[in-house]
Structure 1
Amino acid sequence: MQDQAHSQPGAVQAFSGRNSAVSGESGEKVVYSICEHCFWRCGIAAHVRDGKVYKITGSEHHPLSQGKLCPRGTGGIGQLYDPDRLAHPLIRETRGGKQYYRKATWDEAVGVVAEKLYKTSQTYGPGSIAMLHHGYGVSFFKKMLSEIGVNKIAKPSYDLCCGPARQAAVLTYGYPSDTPEGFDMMNSKYMIFFGTHFGENMHNTAVQEISEGIRRGAKIVVFDPRFSTLAGKADHWLPIKPATDIAMMQGLMHVLISEEIYDKAFVEAHTVGFGELWESVREMTPEKVSAITDIPADAIRTVAREYAFHAPAAFVHSGRRTNWYGDALQRLRAIHILNALVGNFKMPGGVVAFEKFPLVQPPAAHEHPAYEKEVYSKYPFFPNDEPSNTIASHEIVQQAISGEVKALVIYGVNLPETMTLGRKAAIEALEKVDFMVAIDVLPAEVTGYADVVLPECTYLERYDDLDNGRAFRTPFVALRQPAVPPMYESKPGNQIAKMITDKWGLHGVFAPTVEAGLNKKLGLIGSSLEEIKKKGVLVMPATDLYRKPGEALNLKTPSGKIELASEQLKTGGFDAVPTYTAHPEPPAGFYRMLTGRKPMLTFGRTANNRFLGDLATAKENEVWVNEQIAGKHNITNGEYVHLKNQDGVISQFPVKVKVTQRIRPDAVYMVHGFGHTSAKLTWAYKRGASHNQLITRTEIDPAMGAVGFQNNFVTFIKEA
């Protein structure tokens, strides 16, 4: 790798040359598809006039959107017609000691990628190649890499977000949690949330169902150091001290058990480990927990009693972006245990198990070695059944730094601004590898470190694989289909992957066309591509989510029951039941850095979106500072400051101060996804401060390998 272009990604040339593509169609039409602006993948209706998309609305046919979309979903036009889009393939070259990117043909660019990946595999073995990915279109590239034996595949969102919740559910209930998570919110009478920012991170269906629950009279409890949007809807906002959630959950368990208001019949019939659980929480009285969490003992008792009173139509939600401090598996286990204690499993308003649409997969021509799980002794409870994630993403970053990984394929992940191990480690990894190809829509920071850049067209211009990888109360299979042809020289992922395998001489890996492959899958369930294109989705009737009186649960745990105490964890050397452990405190004059989202921002995916970014609240991020702390540091509302973390790292760009009483004095809060350094992102460049730049300390969950990063602390440097 050449250092000059890598150290100055914003200076990389040749991202220009715009020739707007219009299909030549006349008239109007509506194309039904699925969104790509977050993992929820809501159903959309793309309204096309004279060959151009002029608005996007929620599909009334899709059960996740039910005719409604969040701001990000309606803002897809901003990505489709972003003037900064990658227009053509690029190859890095050096002339006169300087590096630059030159425009390349597709044949030349995929030829370089195919040759470099194949030679790396032959020279160092398939384990020397890894892929980081985010976005549903990755399925084609996973299949492509499997053909040469590559099985190091990871999505950072697993480490940061859904992984701990998934594995905690496996260890407690015997099956993985899904998206949407299994909570019957619209029928619940009492909902408890720990730092879950519904209404800010949106999650369309969940927001709709919470709203319906509120309309029906549900009470909401929010434990959060910050008065979030969801806290604004709560009956109880309890500004818990950061990093003390497990202690609070143990305190709630103590009240439920000591006052004998838990569901004794359910616990006796359907759980194991109750005795061990009680021994672990016996001393966690409300008074003791109050001293740890800063929540009054009476409030702890009130929440526990109200929770038991409304059960089983009550739950504690597991949330998203779940790993904060490196103990997420146990924190999520504590949530599942709280749910089990009130007997809400498969009950109206409680925890439910959604079902998947029974889509038959066509038989594979041969086995793909990429789906053989590698065994990692470091993290014994990392999943062994998820082909999208065969290794933790931070392990890939570390192996790139150490030299074990020689080549990276990066699909839709802006690694320098991804919270895996922070910006510094990400850049070191990108500079160390021998070869890297970035497949993306925009010239994000990561593309400035690539040897080859392949421009993928947007989700509004392509087919992807069928979406039935999730379960819901109304099982469905959905289609992503193009509303308009690809602009410029961008191509859909399925074509890019096929071009590379064809270069390897592996013909027939993919169907002759993506349409033929989709039609074959749909034919196995008696449908067709022509049929699903009409509404963009096939829907089954809603399933019966609730258990019958006396019904056995038949869970796939070792005991066949809900495991309050996990023998598997104990055998693996971990606590059988969750136990609170204190986390580092901020140094004097520093404050714990908390983070989240805005409704119109999905981190890097929408950062450069002018359609969304022009909204007043989305132009930049702010740092929330308690008014007491603002006075102490002599900073005022609207003032710009730089942030400095505990290791002396100073934010590259300043951030606006929001002085408020809506956050605890020991913490600050800022939205992730700002502070971009790529000058080619002309809208996002230099807007706000980068939260990721200030992450220099991480804690890895020792059981399942997820990344925690909220033990980073910052103070303020005034602009003057």
Structure 2
Amino acid sequence: MDRRTFMQKSAVSMATLQLGGIIALSPKTEATEIQLLQAEKTLAQNIKSVEKVPSVCLNCSTVCGMNVLVKDGKILGVEGNPLDPNSQGKLCAKAHGGVAAVDYPERIVYPLKRVGKRGDGLWQRISMDEAYAMIATRIKKNLDAGEPEKVALHFGRNKMGDITNRFMNAIGSPVILNHRGLCSSNKRAANYTTIGDTSWETVDAVNCKYFLNFGSNFFETHQGGLPLLKRFVKARNNGAKLVTFDVRLSNTAGRSDEWFAPFPSTEGAVALAMAHVIVKKGLYDENFIKEWSNTSLEEIQIFLKPYTPQYASKLSGIDEKDIIRIATEFASCAPACAAFTNRGSQAHQNGLNNDRAVIMLNALVGSIGQKGGYTFGGSKNKGNTSFPMPKPIPPKPGFTTDLEDPRLYPLANKWQKMRVSHLVFDKLKNTNQKLDVYLSYTISAPQTWPEGPTLTVETLKDEEMIGFHACSDVVYSEMAHYADLILPDATYFERYTLEGRNAYELVPYFALRQPAVNPPYDCENFADTLIKIAKRLGKPVAQYFDFDSYEEFIKLRLDTLPRREGLSGFEYMKKYGVWVEDKEKNYESYNKVLSPEKLKDSFIKDGIIYSKKGKAIGIMQNGVAKRGFKTPSRKFEIYSSTISQTAKALQIKDDGFPHFEMPKSLKEISEHEFVLTTFKWNVHTQARTAPQKYLSEIIHDNPVWINTTTAKKLKIKNGDIVEITSYRPKSGFRASLHNEVVGSMKIKAFVTQGIHPKVVAVSNSLGMNYGGRVPKASNGRKKETIGFSAYEDLDLRGNIWWDKSKGGTGNGFNPNTLIPINPAPLVGMQAWNDTICTIHKV
């Protein structure tokens, strides 16, 4: 038997090895043909007896459909669900690595009550009934006092907004907090102000000929990245071109046809210069601008006049000839071309207008809503319209507070509840706003927030600011450590949720996440926890929870769907996992003619068509009633009255056009200062993946990236230890404290040509203090801590080879020690990529 055949056969043997079984793996051992044939037979038998449970991954926000492979109540692995129209049967490493969360040895499986000082890590195991009572008693006290707003619910990757919103509305508190302001609110606001229909575009990638990418690393971490990447590969096979602008040589940049590293925050200037070229050369779509732009060609020309390629080149460092060439190439592929964005362009003080400028390129060349262009195919609505909520439905509170609806950032909640939650801990510390009950769910703010390891931790530890903190989580996370009560959460393999994502096939769809296995011990879906607490609160709260479980709640909603194959909506979804609407692809939806039924009892005012209730539903175009865009003008908005009026009310200078203005700190950067940026890996998502051993084995170290030329000037060599010191910005939040030190960190240097000379970069998702042996990169026996599961994993006793005590690199660093809270104007998006720092060799 040759070596290749032996390795193939050995793989079969390993796959069929039962738990506790023994296999010889010495160099001279070779299995006999009979043994290998028997192994193949056993494998075939095992596969036949495996149950496939359709569900949805939640190791990132792309939420790909998957089939969970289960045998004898144990998860063997996952595979893609081919019925999912987005991922089409494909999964990434995160999906496969996520299985490790189920049997993680340091998983919390019992409720724990704090018995020492908050943050001391001393706990007592209690029953779930005691836990429910602790929470309900405290909430009831606030309700009786007429202070429901002193109860807050703060979540990370929730996916159960139907029940969390219901709970908070039922108790009368508006203080629902999330993490969207840390993630993507500038990008979403840019789409809403220009298109109105969507917060997140869906490029018709498979038919696209030219991808113009401003700051998206969709090969690794873009929301909807896998479906986009899958279709991009097909497009590239058909001759499509990818041009990427990113300060760092990401995996997407490295696989692009051309990569340019602009100075941070100048993406908008480059996009405006390209728009200038397109208009000057007459490469624009005259019909789209005439019919569907709220701004005339003359107004566009006047606006773009100062944004020349020379202007953009001076700011960005990109050669003006390249700007002219790329703009021309892009327009020549219209309408099968798309300019799109993500964190690289939006995570700045000027990120909203950066992204508006990029989106405008699509409008100028007429690719909006076109085949191969900048499209927007939404998921099937998961809200009241598509799946009616069980009645009675609690009314929303008739008031807001500055915690969840900050007055200085009025666009944060205009279209959807994006919040500015990175301000919450600062507000609790530095204002009179306090919380009596703080419920946190799958959110590790000390790890993932700007100033998380410092200000956030200080606030969480202070019982004057937060009277009582109950945390629901799967592991003993950074957040759980600072709680008064820890609730053992179910993993996404053990619970129900309705899922939806922008549809890359441009046909609405949604999916069902369902339990593949039962949660162990006292672990429970947080939705069920809230239902039980609501019932304990009695009237009037309990009347809105006339169902026994979240499963029943989901069933009530899904059973409003039409029957398919003789099955109820719930039965159909449990069987297939995905529901795809029977509709045509969503091309040029703005140009659709409104039906007589839609126009019934409508009226027209200033060319806008309104329903009987006064809601805008369309626009008159050349005497024809059409749907239009969901903007105030029902057209694509280059000029935004929403932005100009909102800015004026706040005394912020903004004329409503997507103008370019560099953040002050970056504009005035000195020779010895640098811009610190952060980035994400393909195998990690915020803080949730670090405890998953296979993913952390792949990425567990995050040295600071430094340009080769810069390193030479600073006499820094690859592997040297350097110290980074960061400072508060010169504009925006806490500008009066500019140049105050935010934090410092000693870290290993990674010297590379793949980064802008004025930029240094450190990845996130690493450097944890809690969560078990894997995220801490610490070998050894499991500590018999009360509340942990009975599982053990021998890998974690001695096979964490990156443990520093074994000569490894350790568990990395948390860059958020260095990142100041820095919300952008109007929307409040965290300006992750505007941090000024100095760096020197230790």
The TM-score with structure 1 as length reference comes to 0.89
SS at match of 2:833: coil
Alpha-carbon shift at residue 420 of structure 1 (Å): 4.7
Alignment partner of 1:670 out of 746, 762, 782: 762
Aligned-partner residue type, residue 82 of structure 2: E
SS at match of 1:568: helix
Alpha-carbon shift at residue 131 of structure 1 (Å): 2.1
Alignment partner of 1:435 out of 462, 468, 471: 468
The 2-side partners of 1:170 and 1:216 are apart by 32
Partner of 2:817: 693
The 2-side partners of 1:96 and 1:485 are apart by 32
Q: Does 1:565 align with 2:639?
A: yes
Larger displacement relative to structure 2 (675-684 or 109-118): 675-684
- Report the aligned-residue RMSD: 2.6
Alpha-carbon shift at residue 66 of structure 1 (Å): 0.9
* Runs of 4+ residues over 4 Å off in structure 1: 95-99, 370-376, 469-472, 548-553, 647-652
Q: Does 1:524 align with 2:560?
A: yes
Alpha-carbon shift at residue 373 of structure 1 (Å): 6.7
Partner of 1:593: 676
Conserved? CA contact 1:56–1:76, under 8 Å: no
Q: Does 1:509 align with 2:544?
A: yes
The 1-side partners of 2:61 and 2:118 are apart by 44
Partner of 1:398: 426
Q: Does 1:213 align with 2:238?
A: no
Alpha-carbon shift at residue 475 of structure 1 (Å): 2.0
Conserved? CA contact 2:353–2:660, under 8 Å: no
Mapping of residues 419-458 of structure 1, within 5 Å:
419-420=449-450, 422-430=452-460, 431=462, 432-458=465-491
Conserved? CA contact 2:720–2:749, under 8 Å: yes
Partner of 1:11: none
Alignment partner of 1:272 out of 284, 294, 301: 294
Conserved? CA contact 1:78–1:612, under 8 Å: no
The 2-side partners of 1:310 and 1:166 are apart by 26
Partner of 1:120: 142
Partner of 1:310: 333
The 1-side partners of 2:773 and 2:589 are apart by 55
Aligned-partner residue type, residue 392 of structure 1: V
The 2-side partners of 1:225 and 1:108 are apart by 52
Q: Does 1:33 align with 2:55?
A: yes
SS at match of 1:484: coil
Alignment partner of 1:414 out of 444, 447, 468: 444
The 2-side partners of 1:141 and 1:115 are apart by 19
Distance 1:638 1:521, change over 3 A: same
- Give ranges in structure 2 of 5+ residues lacking alignment: 1-18, 20-47, 563-567, 593-625, 649-653, 728-739, 778-809
- Give ranges in structure 1 of 5+ residues lacking alignment: 1-19, 21-25
Mapping of residues 584-623 of structure 1, within 5 Å:
584-585=665-666, 586-615=669-698, 618-623=699-704
Alignment partner of 2:364 out of 341, 347, 356: 341
Conserved? CA contact 1:138–1:493, under 8 Å: no
Partner of 2:579: 538
Conserved? CA contact 1:461–1:481, under 8 Å: yes
Q: Deviations over 1:341-378 (max 9, x none)?
A: 11111111112231433633235303332597776542
SS at match of 1:479: strand
Conserved? CA contact 1:133–1:413, under 8 Å: yes
Alpha-carbon shift at residue 436 of structure 1 (Å): 1.3
Aligned-partner residue type, residue 499 of structure 2: D
Distance 1:207 1:405, change over 3 A: farther
Q: Deviations over 1:393-429 (max 9, x none)?
A: 1343333222413132111110112235543232233
- Greater gyration radius: 2
Larger displacement relative to structure 2 (403-412 or 191-200): 403-412
The TM-score with structure 2 as length reference comes to 0.77
Q: Does 1:547 align with 2:576?
A: no
SS at match of 2:776: coil
Q: Deviations over 1:506-543 (max 9, x none)?
A: 44533223332222222211233222111211222463
The 2-side partners of 1:255 and 1:97 are apart by 58
The 2-side partners of 1:553 and 1:313 are apart by 23
Alpha-carbon shift at residue 284 of structure 1 (Å): 1.7
Conserved? CA contact 1:277–1:577, under 8 Å: no
Larger displacement relative to structure 2 (629-638 or 334-343): 629-638
The 1-side partners of 2:658 and 2:581 are apart by 38
Distance 1:380 1:81, change over 3 A: same
Q: Does 1:100 align with 2:181?
A: no
The 2-side partners of 1:677 and 1:568 are apart by 44
The 1-side partners of 2:629 and 2:691 are apart by 45
Partner of 2:708: 627
Aligned-partner residue type, residue 113 of structure 1: I
Conserved? CA contact 1:423–1:695, under 8 Å: no
Partner of 1:479: 512
Q: Does 1:684 align with 2:773?
A: no
Distance 1:382 1:679, change over 3 A: closer
Q: Deviations over 1:670-695 (max 9, x none)?
A: 21111112264543356111111111
Alpha-carbon shift at residue 95 of structure 1 (Å): 8.2
Partner of 1:301: 324
The 2-side partners of 1:405 and 1:396 are apart by 10
The 2-side partners of 1:155 and 1:424 are apart by 20
Distance 1:360 1:491, change over 3 A: closer
Distance 1:405 1:209, change over 3 A: farther
Partner of 2:492: 459
Alignment partner of 1:368 out of 395, 399, 404: 395
Aligned-partner residue type, residue 586 of structure 2: L
Partner of 2:43: none
Partner of 1:23: none
Distance 1:639 1:99, change over 3 A: closer
Conserved? CA contact 1:443–1:680, under 8 Å: yes
The 1-side partners of 2:407 and 2:838 are apart by 38
The 2-side partners of 1:548 and 1:84 are apart by 50
Conserved? CA contact 1:86–1:441, under 8 Å: yes
Q: Deviations over 1:19-41 (max 9, x none)?
A: x9xxxxx9521111011111111
Distance 1:422 1:92, change over 3 A: closer
Conserved? CA contact 2:684–2:690, under 8 Å: yes
The 1-side partners of 2:67 and 2:468 are apart by 39
* Bigger RCO (CA 8 Å, 6+ sep): 1
Q: Does 1:380 align with 2:454?
A: no
Q: Deviations over 1:537-556 (max 9, x none)?
A: 12224632223997656122
Aligned-partner residue type, residue 344 of structure 1: S
Distance 1:134 1:98, change over 3 A: closer
Taking only the aligned residue pairs, the percentage that are identical comes to 28
SS at match of 2:476: coil
Conserved? CA contact 2:119–2:483, under 8 Å: no
Alpha-carbon shift at residue 121 of structure 1 (Å): 4.3
Q: Deviations over 1:443-488 (max 9, x none)?
A: 1111111111111010111122x22465552322211111111123
SS at match of 1:604: coil
Alpha-carbon shift at residue 561 of structure 1 (Å): 1.2
Alignment partner of 1:500 out of 528, 533, 554: 533
Distance 1:223 1:264, change over 3 A: same
Alpha-carbon shift at residue 648 of structure 1 (Å): 4.2
Alpha-carbon shift at residue 124 of structure 1 (Å): 6.5
Count of residue pairs brought into register by the alignment: 685
Aligned-partner residue type, residue 51 of structure 2: K
The 2-side partners of 1:300 and 1:333 are apart by 18
Q: Does 1:488 align with 2:521?
A: yes
Partner of 2:197: 175
Partner of 1:49: 71
